[in-house]
A and B are shown apart, each in its own frame.
Chain A
Amino acid sequence: MKHEYLDRYSRIESPVHRLPGLLKLIIALCIVLVSIIPPARMLYIPAAAGLFVVLIVPFTRIPALFVLRRIVMFEPFVAVIASLMLFQADGGLKFMSIVIRSTVSLLTMIILSNTIPFNEILGILRRLHLPGIIVTILALMYRYIFVLIDETDRLNRARLSRTFAKSKKFTWYSLSLTIGQLFVRSTERAEKVFGAMSARGWK
């Protein structure tokens, strides 16, 4: 059981984690809005917002290296699209502005997702009158992502223990068998979950 790629730090103790969820959500959305709305010339606004978020990071007790690694993970797409802009008029400024804006927004969302537990976000969404079925599906999905990751690990381990060497020829084939089997097992698990839910009076 290791799921280090998901919201790993959302349940630790820190001054920021103790703040109410709705407040954090609103502040984060405001920071993102402030950094994406101003025109490209006003580079200092997103830069200031970014500085503010960077100053908050130490108070969240999330390791800086983790945040950095996350940013690096998503930066390639930003870089590719932004570099297309170098080919148009006024491209240098636009390039810088896009890179700064999207990095600040990314940083804010990474900090947000690692300071609120997901069930608190679900509670907020429910209070905001998001359709009930969507919230239920979101809750079920969050619960079973971890189970299905473990299931995938088990499937892969079983396959590896039955094959001698990793063959490049069959990578795609074995990957699709894994995904297919995962779907079959998900539907079977859904049946059991429904049984358990109705046994507890859900309808």
Chain B
Amino acid sequence: MHIPDGFLDTKTIIATSLFSAAGISNSLRELRRNISPRNVPLMGLSAAFIFVAQMLNFPVIGGTSGHLIGAVLVSVLLGPSAGIVIMSVVLIVQCLLFADGGVFALGANIFNMGIVAVFGGYWTYRALLWLIPSRYGKFIAAGLAAWSSTVLAAVCCTGELAWSGTVQWSYGLPAMAGIHILIGIGEALITTLVLAAIYKARPDLLPENGRSSFDVRAQSLSGTLLYGVVTILGLALFVTPFASKWPDGLERIASQFGFEAKAFAKPVVPSPAHGYSIPGVGSLGIALPIAAVVGATCVFVLSFILARMVSPRSSQEKPQSR
């Protein structure tokens, strides 16, 4: 999902960079208020941990492999503010050291995988935790949150590509969302299993009722609201113009003044497949919501089964911390 350079136009680059800067500065403000010096090395090590965890591939159907993104994993373990900073730092290093994701697309990548995935995933997790208060709740909630954060980030990524005029929303959304509904299942399974593994080894590292041994988790209301504003504004800008059926304002003006005909009058290189449609992709009216519901149900059932399998039967059996 790392967008390379050349896929975004200037207005999208500027907008996404501003949103990411706002999100990161908000999380730095939150951290500065709450963090003690002993958590600085922890954040560095966690960033290195996420980077290494992203290099470990798991097999997906048909010989392909996927890897963890880890946005929900890190935000469940360390809280959303630390999560945003850690994911951003990981993306910066991947871009500068690895050329994975473009320099000028860094803002967009941080917005998708750092801010939207962490903030959206974390609050999905908290809401589900409140809905499912059983002892499996933590693991089920983390699984579903991981799945939805992956899908949300993919939708956001498609929105940015469509806003830049790189791909058409009607082709891009089914392709990106469809693939990530599947990839998200892997993300959900790994997140649930990793949390269970950490719980088995060191139960004290997992948050209990929203509190944990790391004080980086503390979160103020104003900070949370600011994240919400950044995320919602970003989604409103990148995604909603395409989600509605009406042509957006710019297009309407263009068609009124007849720019539209001029803009597409002479293709320099004729498109080989223009006018054809990918079977099953052109008409996405009902197919995509159905796929999303089926995917979410799959994730719920799978993480429920996994949670029952991996979480200890009763509180007496809880493994001792070292």
In the complex, what residues of A have CB within 8 A of residue B59's CB? 168, 171
With A140-B48, A141-B48, A190-B41 known to touch, is A33 a contact of B56 (CB < 8 Å)?
no
Give the interface size class of chain A: 35 or more
Residues A72-101 near B (CB distance < 8 A): 74, 77-78, 80-81, 84-96, 98, 101
Binary flags per residue of B39-73, CB closer than 8 Å to A gives 1, else 0: 01111111111011101101100000000100000
User: Which stretch from B87-95, B119-127, B221-229, B244-252 is at the chain A interface?
Assistant: B87-95
In the complex, what residues of A have CB within 8 A of residue B86's CB? 137
Give the interface SS of chain A, mostly helix, strand, loop or mixed: helix
CA distance in complex: A130, B90 (Å): 16
Q: Does A27 contact B (CB under 8 A)?
A: no
Q: Does A148 contact B (CB under 8 A)?
A: yes
Contact A141 B268 (CB under 8 A): no
Contact A140 B44 (CB under 8 A): yes
Q: Which of A145, A149, A179 contacts B190 (CB 8 A)?
A: A179
In the complex, what residues of A have CB within 8 A of residue B55's CB? 5, 149
Q: Which of B102, B195, B201, B270 contacts A181 (CB 8 A)?
A: B201
CA distance in complex: A109, B48 (Å): 21
Q: Which of A32, A180, A182 contacts B103 (CB 8 A)?
A: A32
Residues B9-35 near A (CB distance < 8 A): 10, 24-25, 28, 31-32
In the complex, what residues of B have CB within 8 A of residue A109's CB? 5, 95-96, 99, 102-103
Tell me the minimal C-beta distance from A167 to chain B in angstroms: 12
With A177-B197, A183-B198 known to touch, is A139 a contact of B44 (CB < 8 Å)?
yes
Tell me the minimal C-beta distance from B136 to chain A in angstroms: 16
Q: Does B115 contact A (CB under 8 A)?
A: no
CA distance in complex: A194, B43 (Å): 11
Contact B190 A187 (CB under 8 A): no
Q: Which of A106, A139, A176 contacts B5 (CB 8 A)?
A: A106
Contact A175 B52 (CB under 8 A): no
With A33-B104, A140-B40, A141-B89 known to touch, is A92 a contact of B53 (CB < 8 Å)?
no
Contact A187 B273 (CB under 8 A): no
Contact A81 B161 (CB under 8 A): yes
With A102-B4, A102-B5, A182-B53 known to touch, is A172 a contact of B205 (CB < 8 Å)?
no
Contact A86 B272 (CB under 8 A): yes
Residues A81-138 near B (CB distance < 8 A): 81, 84-96, 98, 101-102, 104-106, 109-110, 113, 118, 121, 131, 133-134, 136-138
Q: Does A35 contact B (CB under 8 A)?
A: yes
Tell me the minimal C-beta distance from B119 to chain A in angstroms: 18
Give the interface size class of chain B: 35 or more
User: Which stretch from B165-173, B234-242, B283-291 is at the chain A interface?
Assistant: B165-173
In the complex, what residues of A have CB within 8 A of residue B262's CB? none
Q: Does B256 contact A (CB under 8 A)?
A: no
Q: Does B6 contact A (CB under 8 A)?
A: yes
In the complex, what residues of B have CB within 8 A of residue A85's CB? 166-167
Q: Does A184 contact B (CB under 8 A)?
A: yes
CA distance in complex: A94, B119 (Å): 34
CA distance in complex: A187, B181 (Å): 32
Tell me the minimal C-beta distance from A125 to chain B in angstroms: 9
CA distance in complex: A6, B6 (Å): 23
CA distance in complex: A197, B39 (Å): 12
CA distance in complex: A182, B37 (Å): 22
CA distance in complex: A92, B271 (Å): 4
Q: Does A11 contact B (CB under 8 A)?
A: no
CA distance in complex: A6, B8 (Å): 26
With A32-B5, A87-B277, A190-B41 known to touch, is A118 a contact of B49 (CB < 8 Å)?
no
Contact A113 B97 (CB under 8 A): yes
Tell me the minimal C-beta distance from B53 to chain A in angstroms: 5
Q: Which of B88, B196, B269 contacts A96 (CB 8 A)?
A: B269
CA distance in complex: A96, B175 (Å): 20
CA distance in complex: A143, B89 (Å): 13
Contact B45 A187 (CB under 8 A): yes
**Residues of chain A having any CB pair with chain B under 8 Å:** 5-7, 29, 32-33, 35-37, 41, 46, 70, 74, 77-78, 80-81, 84-96, 98, 101-102, 104-106, 109-110, 113, 118, 121, 131, 133-134, 136-145, 147-149, 152, 168, 171-173, 175-184, 186-187, 189-191, 193-194, 197-198, 202-203
Q: Give 17 A-B pairs besides A102-B4, A141-B51, A203-B37 with Cβ atoms closer than 8 angstroms.
A: A91-B274, A92-B267, A93-B267, A106-B4, A139-B44, A140-B41, A140-B47, A171-B58, A175-B193, A179-B194, A180-B198, A180-B201, A181-B197, A182-B49, A183-B77, A187-B202, A194-B38
